[in-house]
């Protein structure tokens, strides 16, 4: 019988939902993780993020703005040195800029005694508020860094037979926070939050507010129809997955707004925004909807549903 030892890596996806109202949520105050590796220099090149007998990871380059066919992006290029005599995998995930969760789950494999480059990067979300459109307005850049044995087969799984001693494996993780403008002052993101939003949930674990609901042809065109923008904060210490069900526009059943398995939000007072598309079951865009109803399902990292959130929320188009 074979057993498998694996190092679990966090996955990060982007999410949001929404509509307009009049109330606002409390101020969004950010604090770094107590065990975070902090880079406070305005020029972070050369800063060491991880250093042990097996590896050293440092910042080699900062790209504040670059163009590609998919849009403008920023990047931190990391130099990952494998000092061991084994294959090693270096991974980055859980990226957030100004507390805004961004899509990143990237890894590179380094042979024994080899050095590889690893990019921490994301595209600027052109649909979002102006605070995230240029590097000069970055207050914090946060991400998770992992390094671990790749195993003999190079896929991160170490295999051994029943009765054998498990091989000695290496794994290290670090939470990193970079202050692009230098310093480490307390950061408050009150101005980055949606103003005049309809707050549906605001408790110790979650804030969910509707920024917008209605038809805007400039966003997705007539084919997709109505759109909604939700603002979500995960205030817990665990990754939470959000999904919707029972989506109705003016009483007509629509396709669920987010993927079937939901979308994950990284832990700890982060937020994210995402255009969510609603279409009817026949695939036709709804362009004249006045009322949106939906249920939201929140699950923890083990797939257990959190109680108290699976209820019907109603949003009026503005």
Question: What is the SS3 string spanning 280-295?
Answer: ECCCCEECCCCEEEEE
**Domains recognised in the chain with CATH numbers:** 30-178 (2.60.40), 193-316 (2.60.40)
* The pLDDT value given to residue 154: 66
Residues 189 and 27: their CA atoms lie apart, in Å, by 7
Residues 83 and 87: their CA atoms lie apart, in Å, by 10
Residues 193 and 38: their CA atoms lie apart, in Å, by 25
* The pLDDT value given to residue 10: 29
Q: What is the DSSP string of 202-234?
A: ESSSEEEEEEEEE--HHHH-TTTB-EEEEEEEE
Nearest Cα residue to 39 out of 120, 109, 100, 148: 120
Whether 96 has a pLDDT exceeding 70, the answer reads yes
Tell me which of 88 and 253 has the higher pLDDT.
Answer: 88
* The pLDDT value given to residue 245: 86
Which range has the worst mean pLDDT, 100-104, 224-228, 231-235? 224-228
Give the torsion through C-alpha atoms of 251, 255, 261, 267, to 10 deg. -60
* The pLDDT value given to residue 110: 94
Q: What percent of the chain has pLDDT over 70?
A: 66
Confidence of residue 54 (pLDDT cuts 50, 70, 90): very high
Residues 210 and 212: their CA atoms lie apart, in Å, by 6
Whether 265 has a pLDDT exceeding 70, the answer reads yes
Give the torsion through C-alpha atoms of 182, 266, 91, 301, to 10 deg. 150
* The pLDDT value given to residue 51: 97
* The pLDDT value given to residue 92: 94
Alpha carbon 216 to chain centroid, angstroms:
26
Confidence of residue 130 (pLDDT cuts 50, 70, 90): very low
* The pLDDT value given to residue 179: 92
* The pLDDT value given to residue 197: 74
Direct distance between the N- and C-terminal alpha carbons of the chain, in angstroms, rounded to an integer: 61
Whether 2 has a pLDDT exceeding 50, the answer reads no
Nearest Cα residue to 266 out of 5, 1, 11: 11
Tell me which of 143 and 290 has the higher pLDDT.
Answer: 143
Token reading at 159: 């295999």
Token reading at 78: 């990391």
Confidence of residue 261 (pLDDT cuts 50, 70, 90): low
Residues 56 and 80: their CA atoms lie apart, in Å, by 6
Q: Please, are residues 257 and 294 in contact by the beta-carbon 8 Å criterion?
A: yes
Whether 273 has a pLDDT exceeding 70, the answer reads no
β-bridge pairing 37-39 and 171-178: parallel
Q: Please, are residues 280 and 232 in contact by the beta-carbon 8 Å criterion?
A: no
Residues 113 and 80: their CA atoms lie apart, in Å, by 11
* The pLDDT value given to residue 278: 64
Tell me which of 247 and 281 has the higher pLDDT.
Answer: 247
Q: What is the mean pLDDT of residues 38-49?
A: 94
* The pLDDT value given to residue 276: 60
Residues 76 and 269: their CA atoms lie apart, in Å, by 23
pLDDT (tens digit per residue) in 185-210:
666 665 556 666 788 898 988 888 87
Token reading at 115: 């050095």
Q: What is the DSSP string of 82-121?
A: E-SSS-EEEEEEEEEETTEEEEEEEEEEE-TT-EEEEEEE
Burial 197-232 (b: 16+ CB within 10 A, else e): bbbbbbeebbbbbbbbbbbeeeebeeebbbbbbbbb
**pTM, two decimal places:** 0.67
Whether 16 has a pLDDT exceeding 50, the answer reads no
Confidence of residue 256 (pLDDT cuts 50, 70, 90): low
Q: Please, are residues 33 and 54 in contact by the beta-carbon 8 Å criterion?
A: no
Average pLDDT taken over every residue of the chain: 76
* The pLDDT value given to residue 41: 92
Q: What is the mean pLDDT of residues 87-101?
A: 85
């Amino acid at each position: 019988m074979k057993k498998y030892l694996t190092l679990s890596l966090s996955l990060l996806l982007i999410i949001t939902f929404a509509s307009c109202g009049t109330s606002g949520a409390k101020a969004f105050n950010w604090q770094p993780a107590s065990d975070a590796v902090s880079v406070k220099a305005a020029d972070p090149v050369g800063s060491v993020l991880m250093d042990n007998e097996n590896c050293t990871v440092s910042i080699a380059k900062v790209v504040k703005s670059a163009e590609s066919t998919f849009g403008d992006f920023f990047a931190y290029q990391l130099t990952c040195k494998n000092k061991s005599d084994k294959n090693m995998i270096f991974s980055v995930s859980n990226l957030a800029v100004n507390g805004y969760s961004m899509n990143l789950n990237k890894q590179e494999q380094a042979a024994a005694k080899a050095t590889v480059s690893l990019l921490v990067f994301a595209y600027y979300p052109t649909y979002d508020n102006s605070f995230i459109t240029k590097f000069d307005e970055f207050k914090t850049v946060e991400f998770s860094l992992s390094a671990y044995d790749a195993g003999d087969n190079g896929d991160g799984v170490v295999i051994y037979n029943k009765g054998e001693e498990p091989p000695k494996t290496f794994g290290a993780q670090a939470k990193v926070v970079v202050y692009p403008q230098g310093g480490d002052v307390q950061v408050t993101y009150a101005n980055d939050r949606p103003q005049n939003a309809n707050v549906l949930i605001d408790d110790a674990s979650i804030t969910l507010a509707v920024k917008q609901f209605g038809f805007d042809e400039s966003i997705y065109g007539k084919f997709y129809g109505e759109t909604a923008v939700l603002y979500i904060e995960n205030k817990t210490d665990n990754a939470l997955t959000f999904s919707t069900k029972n989506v109705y526009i003016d009483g007509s059943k629509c396709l669920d707004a987010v993927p079937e398995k939901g979308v994950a939000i990284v832990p700890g007072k982060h937020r994210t925004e995402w255009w969510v598309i609603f279409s009817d079951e026949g695939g036709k865009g709804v362009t004249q909807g006045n009322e949106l109803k939906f249920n939201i399902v929140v699950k923890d990292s083990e797939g257990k549903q959190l109680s108290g959130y699976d209820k019907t929320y109603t949003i009026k188009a503005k």
